Amino acid sequence: MINKWSLKNYKHIIIETIEVTLNEIKTHITGSKSSSILPSPGEAQALASRFAGVLPRPFLKYKPYWILWAIISRCGKAYYEKNPTELYISRDVVTRWVKEFQIPQERIKEYLIPLIDYGVLEFSDKPEYLYRVRGEFFNLIGPIAQYSTFTIPPEELTSTMMVLDGIMTIYIIAKAKRVPWLLKLPMIYTISGLEPEPGKFKIRDVLEIERVNAVDSYLVNERGLGKEFVWGIKTAAFRLMTSNRIIERVIEGRGYKLYGPWVRIHEEGARRFYIRRFRERYEKEFRRL
């Protein structure tokens, strides 16, 4: 029912999957020409929107989260007006953040450190400014955020915001190399369906109820997680999966059908992890000889 190999290595596979996702989105949104798994930019946007609503904790407290949105807004404006000076953050702007977000003056550094750690901001190369939005982050978020500088048509509003949120989430998680449980559990459920065929990395796209239960008992019995903890996270994770449409529909009597590209990036993540592990082992052998 469940693939023990993938569950044993879930931490690495999940990180690999997040990196695959970030690369996919980068490829499509910045329009670079490297080969990709997803066929079109729209597909990448749809995939990104599946990661929305995960971020605030444990990475950022609420106030840094607001600052982050202010930075995204700034990126959008800079992209739309093609004006790179918007990306520089002066002492003035920082004092405005202090005042408007009601952050104590002596603690502002503490609030900005996570943003620097996660690669959103970096120290400025021009002496008159304090910080600068990192180019990588700007290239990723600018093309979508530019739509927020003018009125978005109402039917596009929710989904555009979800795409922005999702891109930002993937970027920060990929930089932090740490995935919150809320997202980790759906990913574990997904990779537990890896078919045990050697050489073919296929994941069953129907999430069966038995599989969910088997994963839960694996986490409790063999990984030593608390039972109540798993139950609590499970409910929240299912809420995330339905509200972000990771679960596409219910198949009566069998389980839940998962969103296609979501399954595909997990397959790719598992494949890359396997290849990397294989190469590492091979290199070790080689060195011993």
Partner 1 sequence: MSVILGFERITRKWTPLRTFAGIAVESALDAVKQGDVDVAPYFSKLLYLLPFAPLSVEKVLTYSLIKASRGYIEKNPSLYEVHVSEVPGFEPDEVDKVKVAFEFLHGLDIAELIPPDRIKLKSEVINAIVEPVAPYLATKIDLSRVDLSRSSYPYRVVSGISSLYVMHKSDRLPTSFTIMMGLLSPTAWVRRDGKVDRKTTIERDEWEKARSNMSMLRRLRNKFDLEYFRTIGLLHENNIVVAIYPRAIEIVGTFVDKVIVPVYERYYRLRRVVKRARS
- Our finding on whether 163 is near partner 1 (CB under 8 A) is yes
Nearer to partner 1, 97 or 262 (CB): 262
Can you tell me the distance from the alpha carbon of 73 to that of 141, in angstroms, rounded to the nearest whole number?
10
Which amino acid, one-letter code, is at 277? R
Single out the segment in contact with partner 1 by CB under 8 A; choices: 116-124, 193-201, 208-216, 244-252: 244-252
Can you tell me the distance from the alpha carbon of 239 to that of 71, in angstroms, rounded to the nearest whole number?
29
Single out the segment in contact with partner 1 by CB under 8 A; choices: 8-16, 133-141, 221-229, 242-250: 242-250
b/e for 120-147, b at 16 or more Cβ within 10 A?
A: bbeebeeeebbbbbbebbbbbbbbbbbb
Single out the segment in contact with partner 1 by CB under 8 A; choices: 43-51, 52-60, 85-93, 165-173: 43-51
Nearer to partner 1, 12 or 245 (CB): 245
- Quote the least distance from Cβ 259 to partner 1, whole Å: 6
Sheet containing 255-258: order of strands: 206-208, 255-258, 247-251
Indicate the length of the chain as a whole number.
Answer: 289
Angle (CA) 12-266-284 rounded to 5° is 35
Nearer to partner 1, 104 or 153 (CB): 153
Q: Are 266 and 17 in contact (CB under 8 A)?
A: yes
Task: Please list the helix, strand and coil fractions of the chain in percent, rounded to the nearest 5, in that order.
Answer: 65, 10, 25
- Quote the least distance from Cβ 155 to partner 1, whole Å: 5
- Quote the least distance from Cβ 79 to partner 1, whole Å: 12
Looking up tokens 């596009």, which residue turns up?
156
Answer for which of 111, 131, 138, 147 binds partner 1 (CB under 8 A) is 147
Answer for which of 249, 284, 287, 288 binds partner 1 (CB under 8 A) is 249
- Our finding on whether 40 is near partner 1 (CB under 8 A) is yes
- Quote the least distance from Cβ 81 to partner 1, whole Å: 17
Nearer to partner 1, 38 or 203 (CB): 38
Nearer to partner 1, 48 or 212 (CB): 48
Q: Which of 187, 184, 203, 185 is nearest to 195 (CA)?
A: 203
- Quote the least distance from Cβ 130 to partner 1, whole Å: 32
Sheet containing 88-89: order of strands: 88-89, 131-133, 121-123
Binding stretches for partner 1 (CB under 8 A): 38-43, 45-46, 49, 144, 147, 152-153, 155-156, 158-160, 162-163, 245, 248-249, 257, 259-261
